Amino acid sequence: MVFLAVLDGTVTAFVLALIALGLSLVFGVMRIVNVSHGEFFMLGAVFSWFAYHWTADSVWGFVLALLIAPVIVGFIAVFSERFILRKVDYNPESTIVATIGILYVIQQLTLMGFGPEARPVEAPIYFRISFPWFGYSGYKLLVAVMSGLCLCGVWLLLKRTKLGLYMRATQQDYEIATTFGVPTKKIYASVFALGGGLAALAGVLVVPIRQADHLMGLEPLLLSFIVVIIGGLGSIRGTIIAAFLIGISDGIISVFYEPTLAKMLATLFVVMILIIKPSGLFGENQQ
Amino acid sequence: MKRKSLIYSLFLKGGVILFLFLIQFVLPTYHHSSFSKIMILASYAIAYNFLLGYTGLMSLGHAMFFASGMYSAGLSILYLGFTPLEGIIFGTLFSLTMSLIFGLFALRTSGVSFLIVTLMFGQTLYLAILYYNEFTFGQDGFSITNYLGSLVIFGKEHLYSNPTIRYNFALIMLAVYLLITTIIILSPIGRILIAIRENEARTQLLGYNVFSYKLFALTFSGTLAGISGAMHALLFSYIGTTFAEIHHSISPLLWTLLGGAGTVIGPLLGTGVMYYLIDFISGITSNYLLVVGIILVLTIIWFPLGIMGTLRQQWIKWLP
């Protein structure tokens, strides 16, 4: 039972890390908090249902969604970055208000196009791994593996490519990066798209485990907020570590008690972190 | 200059209150009850504006204060047999304690972290209300109509749900809120709060204890929001989780921004405009939140100062 809870928690942690990483990247480079991040996750899940519905085949639908959903969501992200966030000059508070607006717009448009009911999507593979004393869904392990691969991919992107170099330069100092010829405007757009794409990817991966509905974005948003506050805003390393901390403890508490209690305890944990170190475990000092 | 603007400001507020007092005699029933509702919600928005407009702290979890006032008043009347007045006092003290404790933790962060922390805690209270549903009746909420008794004014008994009582209670509350916030903002404390809004680092450098002033602003705003919640519970005798949802934290932000943050009449105007707008749209489509989203985006792009703020900037300089 404990083992099962830990296993479930690990899967949650991988997905949570993927979502929170998007949020953290956007904050790190652009210094803004994207409240509509959870809706990007929800869109990923919804597109996945459409892909599954059109192809009428769980494997091809899954592959299609995996390829298409992040791209579409990326475009939506670029669009909102270009026409809304740039207009308010990335002022942190205005951005939050604007992204709350985007949240409502995306959520309600989905409600109109997709309907209020939760819709299931079949997993592309179905097998059970039998441990001596219980079986475990193989798909969940696939989710963990694929999330892990994505995390490694983002890490490689940041450390080994020119785009990643530009991103890190913009993160360190926007103005100096601009004077050195880094196309900072484009970097902003691509970071925002990358963040949205990661959330959408997580949505595609998660939807066979749970169902797709237009309100599913709020919970992962709050969890990733908890994660980034604990890990320290903008710190990638802190985000990943905190995601595992929260994901696994969430899994254990959810199995033994109730999911709601897990969320409440996670917030109490945040209180403790705030008392000990207000900038988060790995955050840079704010003053 | 200061004296002149004070006089104008008092005239404007007095005029608005007088207008709202007189208009109740001619309003049709439907709008009469809408106005009562708007005035209660506007007092919530005024409480919110005190924090956002005058101290420069944006909160995304104010529903937790509203709901804590509402639930503590409602539950104490329901379980402990408190009279309505005792319920309101209990609600006030409870939300005061809540906001003080919350402030002690949340104000350790600043900037966007503060926003995230307020959002998170607001949602946690919502989850807590759902989690202890045996005690709080969870999603369904509960009504306290049968526990309120009646109110004796001039020897005559009235029900709390009587439209006239409701309207005038809401009006008195609105007037008191306007008066208290104006007094504080014009006092030395208020000047320091505005200084924190304009430049926190410099205020700290001048030797003011920024943390305790911010704590005061948060506690004050939270308590006022709590009293609004308690009064809402009393006058509409319904207590439910819709008032603890994130949406109910975003609403005062929208009202304040639309009306104009840091203006005195702005929150009231913003609340009224949005209330009637949503009322109108709900007649056409059930997806009124779509419009809320669009208005949020458009306001922040084109009218970051809100209706009153833009008026003040462009034409009427003396506007408080």
Secondary structure class of B149 (helix, strand, coil): coil
DSSP conformation letters of B276-294: HHHHHHHHH-S-HHHHHHH
Q: Chains A and B: how many Cβ contacts under 8 Å?
A: 115
ipTM of the complex: 0.82
What pTM, to 2 d.p., does this model score?
0.86
pLDDT band (50, 70, 90) for residue B154: low
Cβ contacts of A33 on chain B, cutoff 8 Å: 112, 115-116
Per-residue model confidence as pLDDT tens digits over A192-216: 999 999 999 999 998 888 888 888 8
Rounded to an integer, what distance in angstroms lies between the CA atom of residue B191 and that of residue A219?
A: 40
B261: part of which helix (H) or strand (E)?
A: none
Strand partners, B159: B150
Rounded to an integer, what distance in angstroms lies between the CA atom of residue A24 and that of residue B43?
A: 36
A110: part of which helix (H) or strand (E)?
A: helix A92-114
Asked whether the predicted pLDDT for residue A133 surpasses 90, the reply is no
Asked whether the predicted pLDDT for residue A74 surpasses 80, the reply is yes
Candidates A31, A81, A97, partner chain B, best to mutate (most B CBs within 10 A): A97
Per-residue model confidence as pLDDT tens digits over B257-270: 888 887 878 888 88
DSSP conformation letters of B290-309: HHHHHHHHHHHHH-TTHHHH
pLDDT band (50, 70, 90) for residue B306: confident
Judge whether A191 lies within some domain. Answer: yes
pLDDT of residue A72: 93
User: By the CB < 8 Å criterion, does A102 face chain B?
Assistant: yes
- Work out the number of other CB atoms within 10 angstroms of the CB of residue B193: 27
Asked whether the predicted pLDDT for residue B31 surpasses 60, the reply is yes
Closest CA to A104 of B225, B284, B61, B251: B251
Longest dimension (CA), chain B: 59
Judge whether A250 lies within some domain. Answer: no
Judge whether A242 lies within some domain. Answer: no
pLDDT of residue B152: 67
Q: Taking the domains of chain B in order of start, what are their residue ranges?
A: 26-245
- Whether A274 sits inside 8 A of B250 (CB atoms) is no
- Whether B128 sits inside 8 A of A100 (CB atoms) is no
pLDDT band (50, 70, 90) for residue A287: very low
User: By the CB < 8 Å criterion, does A272 face chain B?
Assistant: no
Judge whether A286 lies within some domain. Answer: no
- Whether A32 sits inside 8 A of B112 (CB atoms) is yes
Q: What is the dihedral of CA A91, A96, A99, A100, to 10 degrees?
A: -150
Nearest CB to B290 within list A105, A267, A278: A105
Strand partners, B157: B152
Per-residue model confidence as pLDDT tens digits over A207-262: 888 888 888 888 889 888 889 888 887 788 889 999 998 888 888 888 788 788 88
Q: How far is CA B253 from CA B59, B211, B275, in A?
A: 8, 23, 14
pLDDT of residue A21: 92
Mean pLDDT of B188-198: 87
Asked whether the predicted pLDDT for residue B149 surpasses 90, the reply is no
Q: Which residues of B touch A (CB under 8 A)?
A: 58, 60, 105-106, 108-113, 115-117, 119-121, 123-124, 127-128, 130-131, 246, 250, 253, 257, 287, 289-290, 292-297, 299-301, 304
pLDDT band (50, 70, 90) for residue B101: very high
Judge whether A203 lies within some domain. Answer: yes
User: By the CB < 8 Å criterion, does A96 face chain B?
Assistant: yes
- Work out the number of other CB atoms within 10 angstroms of the CB of residue A37: 26
Q: What does pLDDT average to over chain A?
A: 86
Strand partners, A136: A129
Q: Which residue has the tokens 């003290």?
A: B93
Q: At what angle do helices B84-106 and B63-79 cross, to 10 degrees?
A: 140
Instruction: Please check whether residue B235 is in contact with residue B171, taking contact to mean a CB–CB distance below 8 angstroms.
Output: no
pLDDT of residue B219: 94
Nearest CB to A278 within list B108, B290, B299: B108
Mean pLDDT of B303-311: 81
Least confident of A15-24, A48-57, B60-69: A48-57
With residues binned 3-state (H G I as helix, E B as strand, rest as coil), the percentages for chain B, rounded to 5, are: 80, 5, 20
Mean pLDDT of A12-36: 90
Secondary structure class of B317 (helix, strand, coil): coil
Beta strands in chain B (DSSP E): 142-143, 150-153, 156-159, 238-239
Q: What does pLDDT average to over chain B?
A: 84
Candidates A82, A246, A271, partner chain B, best to mutate (most B CBs within 10 A): A271
Cβ contacts of B109 on chain A, cutoff 8 Å: 229, 274, 278-279, 286
Joined tokens for residue B290: 């779509």
For residue A212, give how far its alpha carbon lies from the nearest alpha carbon of chain B (Å): 19
Mean pLDDT of A117-127: 79
Candidates B55, B117, B291, partner chain A, best to mutate (most A CBs within 10 A): B117
Asked whether the predicted pLDDT for residue B45 surpasses 80, the reply is yes
For residue B82, give how far its alpha carbon lies from the nearest alpha carbon of chain A (Å): 30
- Whether B109 sits inside 8 A of A278 (CB atoms) is yes
Q: Which residue has the tokens 């994901």?
A: A247
Chain A residue closest in CA terms to B106: A274
pLDDT band (50, 70, 90) for residue B153: low
- Whether B300 sits inside 8 A of A97 (CB atoms) is yes
Least confident of A143-147, B150-154, B180-184, B255-259: B150-154
Instruction: Please check whether residue A177 is in contact with residue A29, taking contact to mean a CB–CB distance below 8 angstroms.
Output: no
Ramachandran category for residue A89: left, alpha or beta (phi over 0 → left; psi -120 to 50 → alpha): left
Question: Exposed (0-12), middle (13-18) or buried (19+): which is B296, by Cβ within 10 Å?
Answer: buried
Least confident of A62-66, A145-149, B222-226: A62-66
Cβ contacts of B289 on chain A, cutoff 8 Å: 104, 107-108
Q: Which range of residues forms the domain containing residue A159?
A: 2-223
pLDDT of residue B156: 67
Number of domains in chain A: 1
User: By the CB < 8 Å criterion, does A286 face chain B?
Assistant: yes
Q: Which residue has the tokens 């937790």?
A: B64
Asked whether the predicted pLDDT for residue B316 surpasses 70, the reply is no
Closest CA to B61 of A41, A87, A281, A270: A270
pLDDT of residue B242: 84
Instruction: Please check whether residue B291 is in contact with residue B281, taking contact to mean a CB–CB distance below 8 angstroms.
Output: yes
Mean pLDDT of A145-164: 90
Judge whether A159 lies within some domain. Answer: yes
Rounded to an integer, what distance in angstroms lies between the CA atom of residue A226 and that of residue A242?
A: 9
Judge whether A172 lies within some domain. Answer: yes
Chain B residue closest in CA terms to A31: B112
Cβ contacts of B303 on chain A, cutoff 8 Å: none
Mean pLDDT of B119-132: 87
More confident residue, B255 or A137: B255
Rounded to an integer, what distance in angstroms lies between the CA atom of residue A238 and that of residue A242?
A: 6
